[in-house]
Amino acid sequence: MIAGHVYVIYTALARPPKDKLTVCICATENLFFWINTNPQRHGVGQLALTAADHGALTHDCFLDCSRVTSFSQHELDAAQHRGTISAALVQRIVEFLESEQPKTLPPRFLKLAIDNLAPLFR
């Protein structure tokens, strides 16, 4: 796993279990933000994405920055790598995190995401 890269991970965390598009924010701890078709109902930390933001996106969607997710080793072993996100998208994510500071995202994970992603565009 590599921070700033997109992965498709089949997970039972989704209901029903399915492939989830994710962005790795910390390779060391295997932490990810989910990409969802619709924003979470609570509306916190939802960064709008367009299909043009990455080749793995087939429609407009949302990066859920309200929480991080980790996956089991067997889910990670079966993950499908979809490449890195662009420097422009990394910058949008970092600026979003810095300005929004999603209240549902623990400060440790907010700092970790910013610290791991920011060097990819700065």
Comparing 9-13, 70-74, 105-109, 115-119, the range with the smallest average pLDDT is: 9-13
- In this model, does residue 57 exceed pLDDT 90? yes
Question: Per-residue pLDDT averaged across 95-106, rounded?
Answer: 94
**Cis amide bond preceding 16, omega within 30:** yes
Task: Please state whether beta strands 31-36 and 61-69 pair in parallel, antiparallel, or not at all (unpaired).
Answer: antiparallel
The per-residue pLDDT for 122 is 66
Rg, the chain, Cα only: 13
Q: How far apart are CA 106 and CA 95, in angstroms?
A: 17
- What does DSSP say about strands 80-84 and 5-11: parallel, antiparallel, or unpaired? antiparallel
In 3D, which of 96, 91, 117, 107 has the Cα closest to residue 32?
Answer: 117
For residue 42, pLDDT over 90 is answered with no
CB 100 within 8 A of CB 45: yes
Average pLDDT, the chain: 92
Domain 5-120 has CATH 2.30.30: yes
What is the arithmetic mean of pLDDT over 28-55? 92
Contacts of 119 (CB under 8 A, 6+ apart): none
